[in-house]
Every structure is written in structure tokens, then in C-alpha cells.
Amino acid sequence: QAKAGGRNTIRFYDPDMQAVLEARSELESALRGAVVRNELQLFYQVQVAEQGRHIGAEALLRWKHPVLGMVSPARFIPVAEESGLILSLGQWVLETACAQLACWQFQPEFSELTIAVNVSARQFRQADFVSQVHSILLTSGVTASRLKLELTESLVLDNVEDTIRKMGELKALGVRFSMDDFGTGYSSLTYLKRLPLDQIKIDQSFVRDITTDQNDAAIVQTIIAMAQNLGLDVIAEGVETQAQCEFLELRGCRAYQGYFFGRPVEVQDFEAALLQREK
Ligand code: C2E
Ligand code: MG
Ligand code: MG
Ligand code: MG
């Protein structure tokens, strides 16, 4: 704590806090021009079904800052959320993912793939979110069912009525939905039943110790059973080992995503890996 600045101003200095604030505003101004400077990129992480059959990809945003290097989305997404930049970033992500789907549409090896896109709360709450997605689908000429939107529990619960209405309208277009990081939020079964979901994505925090932690194992088993009873697909994220995969499979999980099958990579590498796997 220190006395500083103007005569009547007492500022409380917390050096860590100050560093965070400065880094944030710096990050924010750098992020502001990231789209036009071509610093953003989508990486794709494979999603697989039984016997490693590839079924799709999750699009994960990457920001390559000329000086800072690769900035983690865990770091810049919150900044983008707070500043409102997430609206233009989110739009760019949807456009880029749909352009990729359009590219794959006429290549037999890739034409069945879906792309899952993470949607932030602020982006989803926009009054015209549904028509934004609709027009991106029309412009790209992509079959809507190839696009999967990943929502989080906190997004959904923040305004359940608005969520259900928008999900319903997007479902009517053919868009699919996955509930990301499932189990880390507070969604009640009542809500789950009311949401037009297609898939539940088991959070990686439960998968990590699944073979050693009985509580995690029990939670995962319960999530899978519940998904099955509700007629929903289930996918596990953060699968890093064969043992985790076998454990999940034994309990009825049929789709997986994680370093064991592939890290998020640039589209060229993603395509090469799939072609390699098919041989
Ligand atoms: P998420 O949607 O839960 O994405 C999964 C995260 O887990 C990704 O981190 C991915 O790289 C990582 N991951 C995948 N497999 C494994 C594994 O086997 N082990 C471990 N330890 N990690 C694994 P990433 O790419 O750093 O993204 C972090 C978060 O940032 C995402 O979490 C998502 O919430 C957000 N995010 C990323 N791209 C976007 C985007 O385009 N829009 C929005 N709104 N959020 C995004
Ligand atoms: Mg996700
Ligand atoms: Mg997730
Ligand atoms: Mg997660």
C-alpha cells in the first residue's frame, strides 16, 4: 500500500494486481488488431469413435502474437470476453470453421467430419446470434448438421429461457449442440431434460484420474448412464492414455478426444494425420 498520485488520492498498490492489469490492457489492445493482422488461427483436434475412426474435430482458437508468441486461449479468451472483442473473434471463428467445412464437403475423406465450435456466453446472448449463424451457414453453403456448437453449463443457466429458444431455432436449421466441460457446472437434471442437446462432453478433470480415483470413476460412470437414458451422445475430453480409453469404453463411452488420439494442430497437419490413419 502506498500514497501516490494526486494530493488527495490514495492508491493501494498490489504489484501483482498492477502487473495483471497492465498485461490485460496490453493484451486487449494487441488483441484488438489480431484479426486484421492475420494473427489468429484455428487449430483442429480430432474426435474419434470406436477403433479410432475419426468423426470430427474441435476448433480451438490460437493467437500468434508477433512478440509474445503463442498466447493461450485460457489467457486471452477472458480478456476478449470482458472487452467485448469476443463478438468479432467469435464471428471470425464461426466463419473460419464453416469455410473449412465447405472445403471438406467435396473431399470424400473429410466430407463426413463435423466441426465443434466453442461459443462464449456474450456471443450467444447477442440478440441476433441465431441469424448470424444462419447467414454464415448460407454464405458458406455448409450442411448445418456438420456444425456443432459447444455451450457451457454456466452459459446455459445464465438465462435458461433465452438459451432454450435460441437452441431451438438453431436446431431447426440443423445445427447440433454439445454441452462442454460437463460436470463442472451446476446444471440440474431438470434443465438438461429441457435443452435440445445432442451430446454431453465429459470434462477432462474427471477423465484425468479415472483409473485411480474411485470418485472420478463413479462420476464418469453416472454421466455416461445419464446421457444414455436421456438419449444423448457422450464424448470424453482429455483422454491421454490407452488405459483411460479402455476404462471409458467399458462403461459405454463411444467417442473420445484427447492427446492420446491427437493434439490440436493446424489444418494441414490435421488432414495429413487423418489420411495417414486411414492407410
Ligand atoms: P475446451 O473447449 O474445454 O477445450 C479443450 C481444451 O483442452 C483445449 O485447450 C485443448 O487443447 C485441451 N486438451 C485437449 N486434449 C487434451 C488432453 O488430452 N490433455 C490435456 N491436458 N488437455 C487437452 P485450449 O486449446 O488451450 O483451449 C482452452 C479453452 O479456451 C477451451 O476449453 C475453450 O473454453 C476456450 N476456447 C478455445 N477456443 C475458443 C474459441 O474459438 N471460442 C471460445 N469462446 N472459446 C475458446
Ligand atoms: Mg470445447
Ligand atoms: Mg471442454
Ligand atoms: Mg475443458
Given a contact cutoff of 8 angstroms between Cβ atoms, the answer to whether 200 and 207 are in contact is: no
- For residue 138, how far is its CA from the centre of ligand 3 (angstroms)? 27
- Residue with the nearest Cα to atom 10 of ligand 1? 264
Pocket test for ligand 1, best of 31, 48, 60 (most atoms within 8 A of CB): 60
Is residue 253 helix, strand or coil?
A: coil
Which tens digit of pLDDT belongs to each residue from 256-273? 999 999 999 999 999 999
Those residues whose C-beta lies under 8 Å from the C-beta of residue 138, and which sit 6 or more positions away, are: none
Mean pLDDT within 56-82: 93
The pLDDT of residue 191: 83
* pTM for the full predicted model: 0.93
Q: Could you report the per-residue pLDDT of 192-209, keeping only the tens digit for each?
A: 889 999 999 999 999 999
Q: Is the CB of 78 under 6 A from ligand 1?
A: no
pLDDT at residue number 21: 65
The set of residues, in sequence order, having a beta carbon less than 8 Å from that of 232 and lying 6+ positions away, is: 197, 198, 199, 200
For residue 99, the model assigns a pLDDT of 98
C-beta neighbour count of 252 within 10 angstroms: 12
Distances (CA, A) of 215 to 153, 185, 210, 228, 255: 21, 17, 8, 20, 21
DSSP string, 20-76: HHHHHHHHHHHHHTTTTTT-EEEEEEEEE-GGG-EEEEEEEEEEEETTTEEEPHHHH
170 in ligand 1 pocket by Cβ < 6 Å? no
pLDDT digits (tens, 9 = 90+) for 109-167: 999 999 999 999 999 999 999 999 999 999 999 999 999 999 999 999 999 999 999 99
Report the atom number in ligand 1 closest to the C-alpha of 123. Answer: 44
The residue contributing the CA closest to ligand 1 atom 33 is 118
47 Cβ closer than 6 Å to some ligand 1 atom = no
